[in-house]
Structure 1
Amino acid sequence: MIDIAGAVPTILSRLKKLPVGHGLELLTYKRDRGLRVRRMDGDRFAATEFGFRAETVETDLKGMKRVLKSVLKREFPRSNKVRVNTLEDGG
């Protein structure tokens, strides 16, 4: 679990290091809402939000910062911590 105040830079640095096909899953404490981010190819990422909204956005690393900020504000309104799990290829 990571602190929500420093979550965006931490997640962006972990996303840069991911191989193609792998991803990260960001969850609330109760694990009922969150975001799944998968590296598609090169600098493209697919972010799937689940919880209050259910939508998928494809963007580059620069756009991912904006996506993370808006999703964390919407899906984690009263959270202080974020659970971060790694997703393997195809999982």
Structure 2
Amino acid sequence: MIDKNIFIKTLIEKAKKLPIGHYLDIRSYKRNRTVLLIKEEDDLFLVIEDGFFREEFRVNLAKLKKLFKVILKKEFPRSHKIRIYTMGEYTETIAKSIKRKKL
């Protein structure tokens, strides 16, 4: 779990190190809202928001910080801790079927 104050900095560092085709599973403390960050190319990311809103974004690394500032306000307004799981290669069926215990 990562404190919300340093979340974006940590996310950018993890996104840079992420191999192409792999993804990060970002969840609220209660694990009831999800955002997936998939690295498609060197500087291109697919962000899938699945919580209060269901949207998809394709952004480069420079716009990732601004996008996650907006997503933090929409999806995690009262969370003080956010969970980041480093996952393997992204496959839509497998990623959607992962169930985590909800608090």
State the TM-score, normalized to the length of structure 1: 0.95
Distance 1:61 1:70 in 2: 15
Q: Percent identity?
A: 37
Moved beyond 6 Å, runs of 4+: none
- Aligned residues: CA RMSD: 0.9
Counterpart in 2 of 1:25?
25
Equivalent residue pairs, number:
91
Unaligned segments of structure 2, at least 5 residues: 92-103
Give the CA deviation at 1:74: 0.8
> Can you list the C-alpha shifts for 1:44-68, whole angstroms capped at 9, x where unaligned?
0000001110010001001111111
Alignment of 1:1-91 (within 5 A): 1-91=1-91
Distance 2:20 2:90 in 1: 10
Unaligned segments of structure 1, at least 5 residues: none
Q: Contact 2:29–2:83 (CA<8 Å) still a contact in 1? A: yes
Distance 1:84 1:44 in 2: 19
Larger Rg: 2
State the TM-score, normalized to the length of structure 2: 0.85
Give the CA deviation at 1:90: 2.8
Give the CA deviation at 1:25: 1.1
Distance 2:16 2:35 in 1: 17
